[in-house]
């Protein structure tokens, strides 16, 4: 937390990502609540979360106090709901801003849009104008935040046309 706090002194808008595993053998209710507390404190812009699953031959596979599947599932549901809410909020804060983005290709969902990634690795789709933009850095104005991506419009790209 000290590293994150110190980083945010210099970059208050820094995007932090993380990976979470719930239901590791011996995880208590307090351990899970501590995980939720850290999620609230850090406000992860991106996160992956999974249920622990035993792998034969690993030290954890022979540990005692394995967590019941229904408990793991419930914890994961709670964690993912909170992470998704925080991530949507992170995207909402970007609406109206101009983001420097790397155009990565044609949108996976709409052939009339290109896809790019912001500096904080958020996917942003924008109306297709020129396939020559792929591989280039462009400025995109964020118009809308969706659950897992952004929508935008090109901004000040005269030098690319």
Q: Measure CA of the first residue to CA of the last residue in the chain; give whole Å.
A: 44
Mean pLDDT for the stretch of residues 68-92: 95
Burial class of residue 94 in the structure, from the number of CB atoms within 10 Å of its CB (0-12 exposed, 13-18 middle, 19+ buried): buried
Mean pLDDT for the stretch of residues 72-86: 96
What is the pTM assigned to this prediction? 0.80
Mean pLDDT for the stretch of residues 96-109: 94
Architecture of domain 2-94: 2-Layer Sandwich (3.30)
Q: Where is pLDDT greater, at 62 or 158?
A: 62
Mean pLDDT for the stretch of residues 132-156: 91
CA–CA gap between residue 143 and residue 93 (Å, rounded) = 11
Q: Residues 113-124: pLDDT tens digits? A: 999 999 989 999
What pLDDT score does 55 carry?
A: 87
Q: Where is pLDDT greater, at 56 or 96?
A: 96
Of the pLDDT bands very low, low, confident and very high (cuts 50, 70, 90), residue 157 is low
Residues 6+ apart with CB under 8 A from 33: none
What pLDDT score does 77 carry?
A: 98
CATH number of 98-160: 2.40.50.140
| Helices within 11-68 (DSSP H only) | 29-42
Of the pLDDT bands very low, low, confident and very high (cuts 50, 70, 90), residue 161 is very low
Average pLDDT, the chain: 91
Q: Percent of the chain scored above 90 by pLDDT?
A: 73
Residue extents of the structural domains in the chain: 2-94, 98-160
Mean pLDDT for the stretch of residues 59-67: 87
């Amino acid at each position: 937390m000290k590293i994150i706090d110190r980083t945010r002194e210099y970059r208050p808008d820094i995007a932090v990502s993380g990976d979470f595993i719930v239901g590791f053998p011996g995880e208590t209710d307090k351990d899970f609540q501590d995980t939720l507390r850290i999620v609230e404190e850090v406000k992860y812009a991106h996160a992956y979360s999974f249920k622990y699953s035993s792998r034969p031959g690993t030290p954890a596979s022979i540990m005692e106090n394995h967590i019941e599947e229904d408990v793991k599932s419930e914890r994961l549901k709670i964690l993912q709901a909170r992470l998704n809410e925080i991530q949507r909020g992170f995207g909402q804060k970007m609406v109206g801003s101009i983001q420097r983005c790397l155009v990565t290709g044609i949108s996976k969902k709409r052939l009339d849009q290109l896809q790019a990634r912001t500096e904080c690795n958020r996917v942003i789709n924008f109306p297709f104008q020129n396939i020559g933009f792929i591989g280039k850095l462009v400025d995109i104005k964020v118009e809308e935040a969706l659950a897992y991506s952004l929508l935008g419009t090109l901004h000040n790209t005269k030098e690319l046309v």
